[in-house]
Amino acid sequence: MRRRAPAGRDWYRDAVFYEVHVKAFADGNGDGVGDFVGLTQRLDYLKDLGVDCLWILPMYASPLKDDGYDIADFYSIHPAYGTVEDFQTFLDEAHARDLRVIADLVMNHTSDQHPWFQASRSDPAAAYADYYVWSDSDVRYREARIIFVDTEKSNWTFDPARKAYFWHRFFSHQPDLNYDNPAVRAAMLDVMRFWLDRGLDGFRCDAVPYLVEREETSCENLAETHAVLKEFRRVIDQEYGGDRVLLAEANQWPEDVRPYFGEGDECHMAFHFPLMPRLYMAVRLEERLPIVDIFTHTPPIPPGAQWALFLRNHDELTLEMVTNEERAFMYYAYARDPAMKLNLGIRRRLAPLLDNDRRRIELLNSLLLTLPGSPIVYYGDEIGMGDNVYLGDRDGVRTPMQWSRDRNAGFSAADESKLYLPVIADPVYGYQAVNVAAQAGTPSSLLNAMKRLMAARRTSPAFGRGSIEFLRPRNQRILAYLRREQRDTLLVVNNLAGSPQPVELDLRSFAGSTPVEMLGRTRFPTIGEAPYFLSLGPHGFYWFRLERPDGGDEPYGIEESAI
Amino acid sequence: MTDTGRAPTPSPEIERQLAALGPRAIVVGLPSFNNAATVPAVGAAVRAGLAAHFPEVPAALVNVDAGSTDGTAELLADAGLPVALARHEAPLGERAAVPFHGIPGRDAALRLAFRAARRLDGRVLVLLEADVTSIGADWIERLVRPVLEEKADLVLPAYARQRYEGTMTNLLLAPLARALFGRRLRQPLGGACALSARLLDHVLAHPDLPSTGRDLIDLWVTGRAIADQFALREAWLGPRRVESRTRTTDLPTMAAQVLGALFTVMERYEPLWLGVTGSEPVPAIGEPVARGPAPTTVDVERMVGAFRRGVRDLVEIWEHVLAPETLGDVLSLDARDAGTYRFPDPLWARVAYDFALGHHYAVVHRDHLLRSLVPLYLGRTAAFVLATQAASGAQTEAALERVGAAFERQKPYLVERWS
């Protein structure tokens, strides 16, 4: 089967990403933990789903105190997930299917088990002494906030071996690397080269705002940090032909994220964090303002740059990027049980967040796939998997993928007590009810609906590359926007409300064009001078391509006498 | 003549009209549907043609109407000809979306016309189109005389057309018909024609006479006549100007109907074509007219654009229909530069055969399949236009001959995969 994979150096602008945790996807050796052998066996599923690029969560050797974001050796694969050879096979098999792969890379810090840190703490005079940020006191950089407020009291922790404090923006077992040290920058570039040489298509760069520290600043988004990223980009572009991508994780306001694109010479992509909670807010409020508002505050980005959009990911649904008032509303609306809260966020999956309401799940996905940026689907959300809020930290949204109603949801042949986390087994979201095998065979399933949406998205470059222009119909419950790219004009109309809504759209500038619905290919009445009237069912949406009268409807000059 | 076979028996009312007419050697059959604007001209041409060329031969006009509401039948009753007015079954769906030839329920109309012609003891049945206003008195002569005087059984039309008229016929239907039936017909479907009494008896009595399906009868009769060694002729009739408010000009609809008919005939009547090899030209009556230069504006850019959009939007259908190599070759056609863009004939033949096979095996919904051919057809047409814009009439003929020859050469590709 042939399919057009997004080609060219800026492939990521058309791609649909799929975020997957190796340990959670498929267990190839029956030890209860997912691995690269299992993931390789499931590549056809991902291809069939219609994704273009996988984003692999940290796969490196690690004590796993922070689910792999505490890397103990950048050059090896965690033994539970396989070997570098297994990874290579996986990567080659993915490429054979026109699937690309990016991997998480934690740049800001390492595990305290990393040999660099062990050397650094044991011998203040040795080569690795300055690989980390050390201080004799715990009062420097006091302006920097504490991110994991639920577990950490300070950004400094005393190390009895070196008898000094080391700096950590995250957990105290994750010492920050010292990017003022040229040897650290060179060492990280070598790490990247090692994986890029194997064919990896890029990195999701974890926690990039925190690379460099300066006194009397928040120690976030500093110019020195941007300089480091620009250096990495320049070297990678130079050595790898310019089609490897850097995706920045900077949980910041859009105007603060904007510098991570540089002038097209820093990161290729960055997450749009503030949009995500506002999508939920808009659907809960049944009103478009939160979404339109955040885009009004989203600055333009350089040519070739791209936002990464997501509904959910492996972390809590983060509410750092909302106001206190908005946060209170979100807790009220989406996390009535305090167990659902974590740090400044809500640790739930997509389907439970939306009360398993199929209409709202599809609507949110319609927004994800049509707003400007490249969408990222979190594994399991395509079948509406549930979560388990009673598991610790963020584990509740990292449970095994549900493949079938077989033992362990078809995820592993191991004894169930050996699974890294229990499968979801509640009566609503349990694997007996929610699984790939059941949904694959049901044309109306969420899985198949997702496939259709992704296939429709693939038919126009305007979704990934087009400009956005919001329409302002009087009905505030309708979010309607135009996406334009060269001759392709798309009109997306979403009903944020749970009740049927009418809307009149001012489409006079498209008079004569015909909206063609992209999922069913139905031709709607031609646009005239009068307001264009549509009615939408509860949480309904339309994706239209506007066919110009001169774009296919006008005669070719042969049809009058073609026979 | 006795009537056997599966054609419907004419109603008592039409039987009465036919009986009143008595024997008529020349029967002119005219299917119609809301053609009030044009039937007076057609009626006048028939009257003039009969008067000028066959003044001594008894003739009658048989109108088979699909339920016109504009007075078509009344106008024909006053055409100054002996006339019988019949109505045939026309499915509502075909009346709502009129077929490419303009006659809902055309199969039923023809079966009725065949029967009426035999009831009248006609030696020749001439079938005309009610909305073709370029018809002249000489058309009657050229269609009738070969049957009456030269033992022809089936006379098919050849029209004087400019080179970009009939692109679906020239690039798709005619090459397919040539390869399938082994005759180089210029107009295998659509147009005026004439049938002998011998052929009418043969098809009316034939157990295969199509009684279900759409638009099968023209192609089946032609295929049957060729397979059973009836004598074919082609009559040069001059230009064909259609004045219709009802015929579709929507290319996907047209493609679905025309190719749907041809592919269905292939499906149901394998003996008509499966074993045929090679091809022969058909003896012509009248002066051949080379294809004139193109007076109409043909928008190549837009056709190429449609082809590119097809590549963008329809690959997911095409990959079910086209063989992997065919798809690969289609996707590697570079339509960006009009100066170098080509659509090779062997590839085009494989595309057409893959669609026939896809239809045969119903790999995707057949209507979607047929419609998804249109961007490819437009891509092939654009390449044809680019290649012949500055060519002479003879060079254009040669280009079309190469298309037909390619279909003929590649026929084993189709046959091997058919089974």
At A452-463, the pLDDT tens digits run 999 999 988 899
Subunit contact B168:A1, Cβ cutoff 8 A: no
pLDDT tier at B262, thresholds 50, 70, 90 = very high
* CATH code, residues B12-285: 3.90.550.10
pLDDT tier at B47, thresholds 50, 70, 90 = very high
So what's the pLDDT on residue A274?
Answer: 87
β-bridge partners, A535: A502
Subunit contact B101:A563, Cβ cutoff 8 A: yes
Subunit contact B378:A557, Cβ cutoff 8 A: no
So what's the pLDDT on residue A154?
Answer: 94
Q: Same domain, yes or no, for A383 and A438?
A: yes
Residue among B165, B169, B302 whose CB faces A556 most closely: B302
β-bridge partners, A473: none
Question: Smallest CA–CA separation between A550 and chain B, in Å?
Answer: 9
Question: Smallest CA–CA separation between A503 and chain B, in Å?
Answer: 29
* CA-based nearest residue to B369, from B386, B382, B352, B385: B352
So what's the pLDDT on residue A7?
Answer: 56
User: Which chain B positions have a beta carbon within 8 Å of A557's beta carbon?
Assistant: 164, 296-299
Subunit contact A2:B161, Cβ cutoff 8 A: no
pLDDT tier at B352, thresholds 50, 70, 90 = very high
| In contact, B162 and B293? CB cutoff 8 Å | yes
Active site includes A286? no
Between A264 and A333, the higher pLDDT residue: A264
So what's the pLDDT on residue A325?
Answer: 74
Domain boundary among A120, A151, A176: A176
So what's the pLDDT on residue B378?
Answer: 95
CB pairs under 8 A between A and B: 70
Residue of A nearest to B163 (CA): A558
Residue B394 has pLDDT above 50, yes or no: yes
* CA-based nearest residue to A294, from A316, A266, A317, A326: A326
User: Which chain A positions have a beta carbon within 8 Å of B305's beta carbon?
Assistant: 551-552
Subunit contact A558:B165, Cβ cutoff 8 A: yes
Residue among B100, B306, B331 whose CB faces A563 most closely: B100
CB-based contacts of B53-58 (< 8 A; 24+ apart in sequence): B53/B137, B53/B138, B53/B140, B53/B141, B53/B144, B53/B145, B54/B26, B54/B140, B54/B141, B54/B144, B54/B148, B57/B25, B57/B26, B57/B148, B58/B22, B58/B23, B58/B24, B58/B25, B58/B26
Tens-digit pLDDT profile for residues A348-392: 899 998 999 999 999 999 999 999 999 999 999 999 999 988 887
User: Which chain B positions have a beta carbon within 8 Å of A459's beta carbon?
Assistant: 312-313
Calpha distance A431→A522 (Å, rounded): 36
Q: Same domain, yes or no, for A476 and A540?
A: yes
Subunit contact A558:B164, Cβ cutoff 8 A: yes
Of all residues in chain A, what percent carry a pLDDT higher than 70? Answer: 94
Tens-digit pLDDT profile for residues B284-305: 998 887 777 766 678 888 898 8
Residue B381 has pLDDT above 60, yes or no: yes
Residue of A nearest to B375 (CA): A552
User: Which chain B positions have a beta carbon within 8 Å of A455's beta carbon?
Assistant: 316
Between A154 and B7, the higher pLDDT residue: A154
Residue A269: helix, strand or coil by DSSP?
Answer: strand
Lowest mean pLDDT among A198-212, A281-295, B288-302: B288-302
Would you say the C-alpha torsion A424, A429, A431, A434 has a positive or negative sign? negative
User: Which chain A positions have a beta carbon within 8 Å of B131's beta carbon?
Assistant: none
User: Which chain A positions have a beta carbon within 8 Å of B307's beta carbon?
Assistant: none
Q: Same domain, yes or no, for A113 and A163?
A: yes
The helix (H) or strand (E) run that includes residue A205 is: strand A202-206
Tens-digit pLDDT profile for residues A139-177: 999 999 998 888 889 999 999 999 999 999 999 999 999
CATH number, domain of A166, equals 3.90.400.10
Of A183-197, A313-327, A482-496, which one has max mean pLDDT?
A: A183-197
3-state secondary structure B295-326: CCCCCHHHHHHHHHHHHHHCHHHHHHHCCHHH
CATH number, domain of A64, equals 3.20.20.80
| In contact, A27 and A411? CB cutoff 8 Å | yes
What is the residue type of B44? A
Interface test with A, best of B103, B312, B326, B384 (most A CBs within 10 A): B312
Tens-digit pLDDT profile for residues B202-245: 999 999 999 888 889 999 999 999 999 999 999 999 999 988 87
pTM of the complete model: 0.62
Q: Same domain, yes or no, for A386 and A422?
A: yes
Residue A21 included in any domain: yes
So what's the pLDDT on residue A5?
Answer: 42
Q: What is the mean pLDDT of residues B15-38?
A: 95
Between B341 and A292, the higher pLDDT residue: A292
Q: Phi first, then psi: what are they for B157, rounded to 5°?
A: -85, 155
Subunit contact A2:B328, Cβ cutoff 8 A: yes
Q: Same domain, yes or no, for A3 and A99?
A: yes
Structural domain span for residue A477 = 466-553
Q: Out of A206, A220, A381, A547, which one is annotated catalytic?
A: A206
Subunit contact B167:A562, Cβ cutoff 8 A: yes
Cβ atoms within 10 Å, residue B150: 12
Calpha distance A127→A124 (Å, rounded): 9
User: Which chain B positions have a beta carbon within 8 Å of A48's beta carbon?
Assistant: none
So what's the pLDDT on residue B209?
Answer: 93
Tens-digit pLDDT profile for residues A218-243: 999 999 999 999 999 999 999 998 89
Subunit contact B166:A561, Cβ cutoff 8 A: yes
| In contact, A105 and A126? CB cutoff 8 Å | no
Tokens 């610790």, located at residue: A392
Mean pLDDT, chain A, whole residue set: 91
Active site includes A249? yes
So what's the pLDDT on residue B250?
Answer: 83
Q: Same domain, yes or no, for A447 and A508?
A: no
Tens-digit pLDDT profile for residues A71-86: 999 999 999 999 999 9
Subunit contact A459:B313, Cβ cutoff 8 A: yes
Residue B2 has pLDDT above 50, yes or no: no
Residue A388 included in any domain: yes
Residue A231 included in any domain: no
Q: Same domain, yes or no, for A12 and A26?
A: yes
Q: Same domain, yes or no, for A472 and A386?
A: no
Domain boundaries, chain B: 12-285, 300-418
Between B252 and A532, the higher pLDDT residue: A532
Subunit contact B381:A455, Cβ cutoff 8 A: no
Residue A314 included in any domain: no
Residue of A nearest to B101 (CA): A563
Residue A423: helix, strand or coil by DSSP?
Answer: coil
So what's the pLDDT on residue B301?
Answer: 84
So what's the pLDDT on residue B297?
Answer: 72
Q: Same domain, yes or no, for A45 and A124?
A: no
Q: What is the mean pLDDT of residues A485-509?
A: 93
* Count of domains observed in chain A: 3
Q: Same domain, yes or no, for A83 and A2?
A: yes
| In contact, B284 and B236? CB cutoff 8 Å | yes
Residue B3 has pLDDT above 50, yes or no: no
Residue A523 included in any domain: yes
Chain A positions contacting chain B at CB under 8 Å are 1-4, 455, 459, 550-552, 554-563
Residue A265 has pLDDT above 70, yes or no: yes
Calpha distance B354→B377 (Å, rounded): 13
Question: Smallest CA–CA separation between A561 and chain B, in Å?
Answer: 5
Q: What's the CA angle centered on A379, arms A377 and A380, to 5 degrees?
A: 110
| A136 Cβ contact list (under 8 Å, min separation 6) | A164, A165
So what's the pLDDT on residue B335?
Answer: 76
Residue of A nearest to B381 (CA): A558
| In contact, A377 and A424? CB cutoff 8 Å | no
Interface test with B, best of A451, A454, A490, A558 (most B CBs within 10 A): A558
Subunit contact B168:A563, Cβ cutoff 8 A: yes
Residue A2 has pLDDT above 50, yes or no: no
Of all residues in chain B, what percent carry a pLDDT higher than 70? Answer: 96
Mean pLDDT, chain B, whole residue set: 91
Residue A563 included in any domain: no
User: Which chain B positions have a beta carbon within 8 Å of A547's beta carbon?
Assistant: none
Residue A422 has pLDDT above 90, yes or no: yes
Tens-digit pLDDT profile for residues A94-136: 999 999 999 999 999 999 999 999 999 998 888 899 999 999 9
Q: Out of A52, A70, A249, A362, which one is annotated catalytic?
A: A249
| In contact, B403 and B397? CB cutoff 8 Å | no
pLDDT tier at A554, thresholds 50, 70, 90 = low
Of all residues in chain B, what percent carry a pLDDT higher than 90? Answer: 72
Q: Same domain, yes or no, for A102 and A164?
A: no
Q: Same domain, yes or no, for A3 and A100?
A: yes
So what's the pLDDT on residue A245?
Answer: 97
